[in-house]
Chain A
Amino acid sequence: METTRPAKEKKKATRLWLIVHSWLALPLWVLIFFVCLTGTIATVSQEIVWLAKPEVRANRPTPDAVPLGYDAILAAVEKAEPGVAVSFISRPVKSIFALDVFVSYPDGRTRSLFVNPYTGAIQGVGGVFDFRYFMRALHGWLLVPFVGATSWGWYLVSALSIPMLGSLVTGLVVYKKFWRGYLNPRLRLRNGARIFWGDFHRLAGIWSVPFIAIMAVTAGWFLIQHILADNNITVSTAGVPPVVAREDVPAEGGAKAPWISLDRAGQLVREKFPDLSPDFVALPSNAFSHIVVGGRGAYPLIFETANVNPYNGEVEWTRRVSDRSALELVTESMRPLHTGDFAGLWLKLVYFLFGLLLTMMVFSGMMIWLKRTALATAKLVRDINAERALPSVEGVREAAE
């Protein structure tokens, strides 16, 4: 058996993969660069707000101060802002952040209040411009408005998962024996731009393989998710949203029936499900809706919720990890895997670092192409000049045809 021929064919195949690799991202490189960059910023947008706005920080008044319960928070907000209607209280996962308390004012405006978890003091009011949501919208759907459940911007961005996954696979095929790069990292700084960007692209690439795979697969799910939604296909097992039975709502008395307290609702949920931490509580949104207590359980990627009847305290409905199908556990893990917001600040910083690397992968890929084709063009010009002196190879071929 000849040994040269398979090697030659292998080389030809590698070349084909290089061509595919080059075409995958290059025609849209500015958009992909932009999406990677805004996504990288979005990962740490909450921390950026924390640095920029002191009012979202949870400062302890004394070292031994303990966080207040939901009832004390509710009372403090209603005392400071008489007449507001509180709809939702959320205790951010990271204890350095103030509580988010969603309220509506009698004039119809809704706002998020930043409340100190130890004192109940309203430290600030969120505005209409929310940096976190803005970065998310810019990254996720290029601010294209949603009509119904979808936005074409969402399709445009999530479809980039296809070239991203393709770039990852073809990149590893083209980079011969890439595993050697882990043991012998090479980043030549003094051999010109082409060499530097090439080394950077390969080195950053091999170290980002798991991260790029996570981003491409989760973003691919976002694409599939919206295709399913647009075609009315659901994988949800949640069923019909629960309501409080009409006979449970007190009818007599002529005045608004009182709800059980929020701390009591949290306690009732805790008694039933000791592993569910009550990270947020939603107040009933009408006479027939529940107090919803939710938070992370044993599996940190998915929020679990329990619905408590506000009149009799029964835990009437749950949406826990065990209530979900295996497929839902996979699909609902996609978003936290994409954002990295489930293990604390350290993971966000890891995501931020690899996000920067990925952004630079797009840029370095473009730079390699730019430098390579610049050389090729210079060579082409040389060849054309040479051909003018001699009858060209092309000319001979054309004459023969």
Chain B
Amino acid sequence: MTGVKVKTNPHAGLPGGRHRWRFHLSVLLLVIPIVLSPKFFREEALFFGDSGLGQRELGEKAIGPWHVHVAEYMANAPTDQGLAGHMKTFAIRWNAEDADHIKASYFRIGKPRSLRAAGVVLSGGPYRQMADVPIPERVKPTDALWLTVEGWDGTVHQAAIPLDEASPATIAWLKQRGETR
């Protein structure tokens, strides 16, 4: 290089040039909320109970002298909750005439050995109670979701819902997990 002095471009390095339009492309990111808004409102309707007790309603179950509606809250695979393991949310609704007789309800995957080990206690008003149910490490697809109910009269009643009825997505997930291991 000889003494040719190159005049520096005052805009060197600055964004722009011939492809200025590219800097407006982030407008396309606004498609995200537009595309996802129907799903957002569907989830809101689920949250407020307008689309039912859950995404998959399992219908009314008799448990002892009482009647309860059970639902799989979201019809997807168990969610990874980190240290707590994988969880599935189930919801129940007591019939109005039974609500005042129920002291506590519990969910567990696999048959509980005693009331002390009945599983997770459900929370919420009697017309909408939920619990995040842990998926045990050694669960088999033939296991069941057990609902244990304690009445204020001191009685305890149980009902088992086969896992393939309670959550087919969990069965699919278990099969997939079994294959990868």
B15 touches A27 (CB 8 A): yes
For chain B residues 1-45, which have a beta carbon within 8 Å of chain A? 1-2, 4, 6-7, 10-11, 13-17, 20, 23-24, 26-27, 29-30, 32-33, 36-37, 39-41, 43-45
| B123, closest chain A residue (CB) | A285
Contact, CB under 8 Å: B127 / A104: yes
Do A144 and B32 contact each other (CB < 8 Å), given the known contacts A232-B82, A373-B20?
Answer: yes
Report yes or no: B26 in contact with A29, Cβ–Cβ below 8 A: yes
Q: Which residues of B contact A19 (CB under 8 A)?
A: 13-14
A54 vs B101: C-alpha distance when bound (angstroms): 40
How far apart sit A293 and B129, CA to CA, in the bound complex (Å)?
21
Name the residue among B1, B27, B48, B122 with the largest chain A CB count within 10 angstroms: B48
Identify which of B49-57, B139-147, B158-166, B169-177 touches chain A: B49-57
Q: Are B26 and A144 in contact (CB under 8 A)?
A: no
Q: Are A254 and B36 in contact (CB under 8 A)?
A: no
Contact between A148 and B103, CB atoms less than 8 A apart: no
B-side interface residues, number (CB < 8 Å): 62
Residue on A nearest B92 in the bound complex, by CB: A108
Flag whether A182 is at the interface (Cβ < 8 A): no
Q: Does A106 contact B (CB under 8 A)?
A: yes
Give the contacts of A265-304 with B (CB-CB under 8 A): 285-289
Provide the residues of chain A in CB contact with B125, threshold 8 Å: 85-87, 103-104, 110, 285
Asked if A22 and B32 sit within 8 Å, CB to CB, the answer is no
Q: How many residues of A contact B (CB 8 A)?
A: 67
Question: Is A176 close to B, CB under 8 A?
Answer: no
Please determine whether B4 and A129 come into contact, CB atoms closer than 8 angstroms.
no
> Is B108 among interface residues, defined by CB-CB distance under 8 A?
no
Q: Is the CB of A109 within 8 A of B50?
A: yes
B110 to chain A, nearest CB (A): 22
Question: B residues 84-141 with Cβ under 8 Å of A?
Answer: 93, 96, 99-101, 103-105, 121-129
B80 interfacial contact with A, CB 8 Å:
yes
Instruction: Say how far B132's CB is from chain A's closest CB, in angstroms.
Output: 11
Q: Which residues of the partner chain B approach A142 to less than 8 Å between Cβ atoms?
A: 29, 32-33, 36
Contact residue among B37, B48, B83 (Cβ-Cβ distance under 8 Å from A109): B48
State in angstroms the CA–CA spacing of A232 and B27 once bound together. 34
In the complex, the answer to whether A104 meets B128 with C-beta atoms within 8 Å is yes
B49 touches A138 (CB 8 A): no
**Contact yes or no, A108 B121, CB < 8 A:** no
What's the minimum C-beta distance from B89 to chain A, rounded to whole angstroms? 11
Task: Establish whether residues B15 and A110, one from each chain, have CB atoms under 8 Å apart when the complex forms.
Answer: no
Q: Which residues of A contact B4 (CB under 8 A)?
A: 393, 396-397, 400
Q: Which of A109, A144, A156, A257 contacts B152 (CB 8 A)?
A: A257
The smallest beta-carbon distance between B90 and chain A, in angstroms, is 14
Q: Offer 25 A-B interface pairs, CB within 8 angstroms, sorted by A.
A: A28-B29, A31-B29, A83-B96, A85-B125, A87-B124, A108-B128, A110-B48, A128-B41, A128-B48, A137-B40, A142-B29, A143-B37, A145-B43, A153-B32, A232-B82, A255-B152, A286-B104, A286-B124, A286-B129, A287-B103, A369-B14, A373-B20, A377-B16, A396-B4, A397-B6
**Residues of chain B at the chain A interface (Cβ within 8 Å):** 1-2, 4, 6-7, 10-11, 13-17, 20, 23-24, 26-27, 29-30, 32-33, 36-37, 39-41, 43-45, 47-50, 52-53, 69, 79-83, 93, 96, 99-101, 103-105, 121-129, 150, 152-154
- Chain A interfacial positions (CB closer than 8 Å to B): 15-16, 18-19, 22-23, 26-32, 34, 83, 85-87, 103-111, 128-130, 133, 137-138, 142-145, 147-149, 153, 156, 231-232, 249, 251, 253-257, 285-289, 366, 369-370, 372-373, 376-377, 393, 396-397, 400
New contact pairs (9) apart from A16-B13, A366-B23, CB-CB < 8 Å: A28-B29, A107-B127, A128-B44, A251-B154, A254-B152, A285-B124, A286-B124, A373-B16, A397-B6
4 interchain residue pairs of minimum CB distance: A85-B125, A232-B82, A373-B16, A285-B123
